[in-house]
């Protein structure tokens, strides 16, 4: 933050703390006595009168303590523009310290798991519990809390795998990610340009934007036979479809 804004923030923060302090002392000055009296401020609302008594002592000192705490806090922690605070605290180094503590605590367990083959880990209750929590935090947002998937995100509980369900294939999926792709011309690599035009019009017609209604009508619904000349890659990309036929 530039020096200007640093000073701006500091003046507002310190001004607020000292302003509160001033308010407390300024209002106390008008008190002529420390003792409680029957004197009223002279206001009367619906017959209810307001006493003009000093603030209770406990309240007064609590207020003073709050101001002192605020100044102490601002001295120790960053709160005044660019001033870093005596403790040099930042959210980043707090996070790094927490990560280092966690690494020390769990590092050994994970290192041990890392060397255990997956099928063996799958029978380890502790490992499964950790895996379940990791899944809930990192995977369920897409695959669902029961891993049954949803539109666009594969179901992981069935035996139908896009990329393979062996431990090694799943490890590969997790380590490197997978990118499903749409092969050019779908499952019909030998589609003519005319057919491409027709299918474009057909697709446009879904959203009521067809350019050439006659061309759109020429497109025949998907036929599994067209998939026959497809390459292995094409087939894999279209597996969810092919399965449903």
Closest Cα to residue 122, out of 174, 170, 167? 167
Helix (H) or strand (E) holding 140: helix 140-143
Q: Supply the minimum distance, in Å, between the C-beta of residue 143 and ligand HEC.
A: 6
Q: Supply the minimum distance, in Å, between the C-beta of residue 62 and ligand HEC.
A: 49
Q: Which stretch binds ligand HEC (CB under 6 A): 78-86, 108-116, 162-170, 214-222?
A: 162-170
Report if residue 127 touches ligand HEC, rule: CB under 6 A: no
Q: Which is nearer to ligand HEC, 56 or 180 (CB)?
A: 180
Report if residue 11 touches ligand HEC, rule: CB under 6 A: no
Report if residue 113 touches ligand HEC, rule: CB under 6 A: no
In Å, what is the CA distance from 129 to each residue of 45, 115, 124, 167, 169?
A: 65, 18, 9, 18, 22
**40-45 and 48-51: which strand pairing?**
antiparallel
Q: Which stretch binds ligand HEC (CB under 6 A): 63-71, 101-109, 161-169, 186-194?
A: 161-169
3-state secondary structure of 192: coil
Please answer whether residues 51 and 39 qualify as being in contact, where contact means their C-beta atoms are separated by less than 8 angstroms: yes
Q: Supply the minimum distance, in Å, between the C-beta of residue 159 and ligand HEC.
A: 10
Report if residue 136 touches ligand HEC, rule: CB under 6 A: no
Q: Supply the minimum distance, in Å, between the C-beta of residue 163 and ligand HEC.
A: 4
User: What is the rounded end-to-end Cα distance, in angstroms, of the chain?
Assistant: 62
Q: What is the per-residue binding string for ligand HEC in 218-237, x denoting contact by CB under 6 A?
A: --------------------
Closest Cα to residue 186, out of 242, 245, 227, 240? 227
Which residue of 178, 194, 203, 223 would you call a contact of ligand HEC, by CB under 6 A?
A: 178
Q: Could you tell me how many residues of this chain bind ligand HEC (CB under 6 A)?
A: 17
Residues 227 and 197: their CA atoms lie apart, in Å, by 19
Report if residue 154 touches ligand HEC, rule: CB under 6 A: yes
Q: Supply the minimum distance, in Å, between the C-beta of residue 186 and ligand HEC.
A: 16
Q: Supply the minimum distance, in Å, between the C-beta of residue 192 and ligand HEC.
A: 29
Report if residue 166 touches ligand HEC, rule: CB under 6 A: no
Closest Cα to residue 211, out of 194, 226, 198, 195? 198
Please answer whether residues 96 and 88 qualify as being in contact, where contact means their C-beta atoms are separated by less than 8 angstroms: no
Binders in 53-82 for ligand HEC, by CB under 6 A: none
CB-neighbour burial class of residue 183 (10 A; exposed 0-12, middle 13-18, buried 19+): middle
HSE value, Cβ hemisphere, 13 Å, CA-based, for 82 = 7
Binding site for ligand HEC (CB under 6 A): 138-139, 141-143, 153-154, 156, 161-163, 170, 173-174, 178-180
């Amino acid at each position: 933050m530039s020096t200007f804004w640093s000073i701006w923030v500091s003046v507002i923060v310190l001004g607020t703390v000292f302003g509160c302090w001033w308010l407390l002392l300024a209002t106390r000055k008008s008190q002529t006595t420390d003792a409680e009296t029957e004197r009223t401020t002279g206001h009367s609302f619906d017959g209810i009168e307001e006493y003009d008594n000093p603030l209770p002592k406990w309240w007064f000192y609590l207020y003073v303590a709050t101001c002192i705490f605020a100044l102490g806090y601002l001295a120790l922690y960053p709160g005044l523009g660019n001033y870093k605070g005596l403790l040099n605290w930042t959210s980043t180094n707090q996070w790094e310290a927490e990560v280092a503590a966690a690494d020390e605590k769990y590092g050994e367990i994970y290192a041990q798991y890392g060397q255990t083959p997956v099928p063996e880990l799958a029978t380890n209750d502790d490992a499964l519990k950790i895996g379940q929590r990791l899944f809930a935090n990192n995977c369920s947002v897409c695959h669902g809390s029961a891993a049954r998937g949803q539109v666009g995100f594969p179901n992981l509980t069935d035996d139908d795998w896009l990329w393979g369900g062996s431990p090694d294939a799943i490890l590969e999926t997790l380590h490197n990610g997978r990118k499903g792709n749409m092969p050019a011309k779908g499952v019909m690599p030998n589609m003519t340009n005319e057919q491409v035009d027709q299918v474009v019009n057909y697709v446009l017609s879904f959203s009521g934007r067809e350019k050439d209604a006659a061309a759109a009508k020429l497109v025949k619904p998907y036929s599994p036979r067209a998939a026959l000349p497809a390459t292995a890659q094409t087939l894999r990309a279209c597996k969810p479809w092919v399965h449903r036929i």
